Every structure is written in structure tokens, then in C-alpha cells.
Amino acid sequence: MSKVILQGFIIVPKSDLELVRHELVIHKKLTLQESGCLIFSVKVDDVDEQKLFVYEEFVDQAAFDHHQSRSRLSQWAEITKNVTRHYNISRG
């Protein structure tokens, strides 16, 4: 099986920015603890603090699907409900 790579960015409404940044610390910790997570990186754009670049790698589709399922049921999903996501998913 090939690994699954998600990359892109999110746009966070200014009103949600502080809460999203706080919850991101928890979301990142939980994601990195998932079996099959190879890389989970989120970086703030140098120009626009509301734009966060996302890069994730998982060992296979099953690990990626597990992450997506866990994330949908997490506090992160509730906190980021107003975030606009721009992702590409590929196999590597």
C-alpha cells in the first residue's frame, strides 16, 4: 500500500483564530499519537495570520481514514466548523 499525503491550507476567520490556535496544539498531539501518522505539520503564513498551511502523511489509506473519522468526532471539528479548507490528497 502507498502512503496518503494531504497538503494545502485552511483559512480561519479572525474571530476564531485564537481558539483555533489553542485547539491546534491538542489536535496535533492527538494526531501524532495515531498509529500510522508519519507527519503532521501546520504552519502560519508569513503574511496572513489567518492562513495556515497543512501537511500530513499517513502510512496507508486505513490510517488516513482512521484519522479522518477521529477528527470528525473531536473538539477540533467543532472549533474549526467555520474554517475554509483547501486540500489536495495524493498517494505517495
> 3-21 pLDDT, tens per residue?
999 999 999 999 999 999 9
pLDDT number for residue 82: 97
CATH numbers and ranges of domains, the chain: 4-91 (3.30.70.100)
55: cell is 501537511
| pTM for this entry | 0.92
Cα 63 from Cα 9, distance rounded (Å):
21
Scanning the chain, the segments in alpha helix (DSSP H) are 17-32, 61-72, 75-79
Q: Tell me the pLDDT tens digit for each residue of 19-50.
A: 999 999 999 999 999 999 999 999 999 999 99
